[in-house]
Amino acid sequence: MANDGEVKLFGTWASPFAFRVELALKLKGVQYEYIQEDLTDKSSDLLKYNPVHKKVPVLVHRGRPIAESQVILEYIDETWKTDYPLLPQDPYERAMARFWARFIDEKFLSTSWQAACSSSEAEREKLIEEALGYLKVLEEQQHKRLLGGNDTIGFLEICSSFVAYWIIVIQEAAGVDLLTESKFPNLWKWAVEFQGCPAIKQKLPLPEKDRLVAFFSAMIEKIKRYK
């Protein structure tokens, strides 16, 4: 094998999941090669490395692939044990971080994405209500600083980049109102801070907003059309 420690990341610039993995690698100071995938024309490598889901991101380390962003983040944390731990040390704190990361992905992200792509008015309204409910939970938790600030970009904060940025883009692209300053002032404040956070900006700038809105508008249109 050419390079024993070789790390490759298969991703796309617009993917919130690929962003998470790339940010984690940057925070850990891991060298990697980024392979930009065209999701309308997936490479044979991607399909070989992720036959189950055929999605990005996939991390390939020493020729061995890992898929699913949260699984990849845990792998990164366990493999590169530098002085930048992504998860806290204490098992209870780790459990809390994992709980909220799952909540964000399995509840909020999944529901809000379905709402954005729904072509049925009635269904969309219902999904929006549900997504707002999840935001309400996060808003209440943010009172207790659930999501950290500038110095504490760990596993949970990395996963929450969806809430801090991507949902704002997606809601604009889809023409739905989810995370707004008036309804969720704590979360909004945290999201703005996150977007401007030097610790992240210096490592991995967020993809440019207009470009992302255009990308998701097109993607959502396509999904609605094929329903």
What residues make contact with another protein under the rule CB under 8 A?
51-52, 61, 64, 66-68, 70-72, 74-75, 78-79, 91-92, 94-95, 98-99, 102-103, 106, 137
- Tell me which H or E stretch contains 34: strand 33-36
Which of residues 67 and 170 has its CB atom nearest to another protein in the complex?
67
Smallest gap, in angstroms, from Cβ of residue 120 to another protein?
16
Give the whole-angstrom CA distance, residue 160 versus residue 195: 11
Smallest gap, in angstroms, from Cβ of residue 211 to another protein?
30
Smallest gap, in angstroms, from Cβ of residue 72 to another protein?
7
Which residue in this structure is represented by tokens 């935001």? 135
Which of residues 26 and 98 has its CB atom nearest to another protein in the complex?
98
Strands ordered across the beta sheet of 58-61: 33-36, 7-11, 58-61, 64-67
Smallest gap, in angstroms, from Cβ of residue 17 to another protein?
13
Which of residues 66 and 164 has its CB atom nearest to another protein in the complex?
66
Which of residues 37 and 68 has its CB atom nearest to another protein in the complex?
68
Which of residues 105 and 157 has its CB atom nearest to another protein in the complex?
105
CA dihedral 15, 112, 202, 70 (to 10 degrees): -70
**How distant, in Å, are the alpha carbons of 76, 88, 104, 110, 220 from that of 70?**
10, 15, 11, 15, 24
Give the three-state DSSP class for 32: coil
Smallest gap, in angstroms, from Cβ of residue 113 to another protein?
14
Cβ–Cβ < 8 Å for 97, 85: no
